[in-house]
Amino acid sequence: MKAQPKASHFIDGDYVEDTAGAPFDSLYPATGEVIARLHAATPAIVEKAIAAAKRAQPAWAAMSPTARGRILKRAADIMRERNRELSELETLDTGKPIQETIVADPTSGADAFEFFGGIAAAALNGDYIPLGGDFAFTKRVPLGVCVGIGAWNYPQQIACWKGAPALICGNAMIFKPSENTPLGALKIAEILVEAGLPKGLYNVIQGDRATGPLLVNHPDVAKVSLTGSVETGKKVASAAAASLKHVTMELGGKSPLIVFDDADLESAIGGAMLGNFYSTGQVCSNGTRVFVQKGIKDKFLSRLKERTEKIIIGDPMDEATQFGPMVSKAQLDKVFSYIEKGKAEGATLLTGGGIPNSVSSAGNYIQPTVFADVTDDMTICREEIFGPVMCVLDFDNEDEVVARANATEFGLSAGVFTQDITRAHRVVDALEAGTLWINAYNLAPVEVPFGGSKQSGFGRENSIAALNHYSELKSVYVAMGPVQSPY
């Protein structure tokens, strides 16, 4: 098998198997071929991983942040050296075209190790608080054993975006990848050990929605960071609440992208296409509700159709391919069912909506799809589809579009295209979202906090802000004189 790992899990510095766990196959989304056979974690595997993490964490926390950072930076270097190999694995895991994974996926993971490794020496200091004779100081301390649970769209990125801040703060991590994409995180664990990470600090265990709760409910786990759907987020957050664990929730969205009539049209169309078709539309922050001002609607739609129909769909391992299959048959069927709903509810299918020619019929392929004349109440405009389906709506004026853009329970991202600088700032101020773009879409560099508001989640990944979610402050009051007691 093309991508069979040595064993299903990575615990205490090495691969571990337990064939008593439910077997599952990993499929290559472009052909349906079985590329690996794995076993879900048994309760014994979960206990083993948590015990290893618990054992390793105190000595790691006692190291200087600089020394911890050095190891993460080495891991970043190894990832960059092996970018090709890691990108090919990411393509096998997800079906995303190599053209994307080679620039985006392991690179973004390496960026996280480099960033957190680099800031460690300066960003984990505490404060000195003068109190007029007495004083206090704060220390930033790790939480202990942290759990990361991943979605299937960015398996390596998610494993690193959670692992890097957790480790730099002095925690141990147990990461459970999505059952759809189990392979990437194992390689990240292997590379961390090669970079010098002491064993037991970054463990990977496999499993699905039945395995997640074994971690979330475990009394020795201090924190859970989930990337997944809103529905799963609610389950995980309420399970974590039962023992008051820290939580970070990176959930779904139905983000608005607003195009005013003064926008650079080609840029706005490019942004809308990137924000709907990159990773075959499987991106949480996608701008799937594209609001176009009425005066430019016809021009926008005709150029959008033209450019969309030129997208090269094909074999993900071919560097010319711009658009690959969806991750799974189940996700593909879900997207097709939304397309049927869009047609039934009266949206105009501008392009796509079917299965492309000249690709393997065993792959989970779908055409990049655009609906025009979408209205706010349509199902395709209200629910997250998580596939390459763009909804184009039209609007008259700024107040109206802002109100409509905000009329959703989600609040992950939003974008605005306009040449009017004051309007751009006014609109981003009014939009309810955690991550916003002006004249761009979906760029998420590690230096910038990333995360959602409303039902798209809470907590932030990346940037210095992430440190707050993997550590807590210990405040120490120091008396410099005798205790003043009335007793």
Ligand X SMILES: C[N+](C)(C)CC=O
Ligand Y SMILES: NC(=O)c1ccc[n+]([C@@H]2O[C@H](COP(=O)([O-])OP(=O)(O)OC[C@H]3O[C@@H](n4cnc5c(N)ncnc54)[C@H](O)[C@@H]3O)[C@@H](O)[C@H]2O)c1
| Strands of the 128-130 sheet, one edge to the other | 128-130, 135-142, 471-478
Is-contact 462 116, C-beta < 8 A? Answer: no
Pick the catalytic residue from 169, 284, 381, 391. 284
Nearest to 19 by CA among 10, 31, 7: 7
Please say if 162 is a catalytic residue: yes
Q: Considering the rule CB under 6 A, would residue 101 count as an interface residue with ligand Y?
A: no
Strands 389-395 and 369-372: parallel
Is-contact 371 389, C-beta < 8 A? Answer: yes
Residue 176 marked ligand-binding = yes
The smaller minimum CB distance to K ion, of residues 184 and 342, is found at: 184
Mark 179-208 with x for binding to K ion (rule: CB under 5 A) and - for no binding: ------------------------------
Strands 435-438 and 34-39: unpaired
Grouping H, G, I as helix, E, B as strand and the rest as coil, residue 288 is coil
The smaller minimum CB distance to K ion, of residues 308 and 328, is found at: 328
Q: Considering the rule CB under 6 A, would residue 406 count as an interface residue with ligand Y?
A: no
Candidate ranges 177-185, 280-288, 343-351, 376-384; the one touching ligand X (CB under 6 A): 280-288
Minimum CB distance to ligand Y, residue 369 (Å): 18
Strands 128-130 and 135-142: antiparallel
Please say if 250 is a catalytic residue: yes
What are the angstrom distances between the C-alpha of 364 and each of 334, 368, 405, 475?
12, 13, 31, 54
Instruction: Choose, by CB under 6 A, the member of 150, 163, 287, 314 that binds ligand Y.
Output: 150
Minimum CB distance to ligand X, residue 294 (Å): 30
Instruction: Choose, by CB under 6 A, the member of 285, 293, 367, 369 that binds ligand X.
Output: 285
Is-contact 355 323, C-beta < 8 A? Answer: no
Tokens read off for 295? 């005066």
Mark 291-310 with x for binding to ligand Y (rule: CB under 6 A) and - for no binding: --------------------
Is-contact 302 461, C-beta < 8 A? Answer: no
Residues 11-70 that bind K ion (CB under 5 A): 26
In angstroms, the CA 442 to CA 189 distance is 27
Please say if 340 is a catalytic residue: no
| Widest CA span in the chain | 88
Strand partners of residue 392: 290
Residues 131-160 that bind ligand X (CB under 6 A): 153-154
Mark 424-443 with x for binding to ligand X (rule: CB under 6 A) and - for no binding: ------------------x-
In angstroms, the CA 173 to CA 216 distance is 13
Please say if 345 is a catalytic residue: no
* Phi, psi of 394, rounded to the nearest 5 degrees: -120, 160
Minimum CB distance to ligand Y, residue 432 (Å): 15
Q: Considering the rule CB under 6 A, would residue 149 count as an interface residue with ligand Y?
A: yes
Strand partners of residue 250: 227, 457
Q: Considering the rule CB under 6 A, would residue 229 count as an interface residue with ligand Y?
A: yes
What residues contact 47, with CB distance under 8 A and at least 6 apart?
none
Minimum CB distance to ligand Y, residue 459 (Å): 10
Candidate ranges 14-22, 279-287, 385-393, 415-423; the one touching ligand X (CB under 6 A): 279-287
Chain residues binding ligand X by CB under 6 A are 153-154, 283-285, 442, 444, 450
Catalytic residues: 162, 250, 284, 461
Chain residues binding ligand Y by CB under 6 A are 149-153, 176, 178-179, 208-209, 212-213, 216, 227-229, 232, 235-236, 250-253, 284, 384, 386, 412, 452, 457
Chain residues binding K ion by CB under 5 A are 26
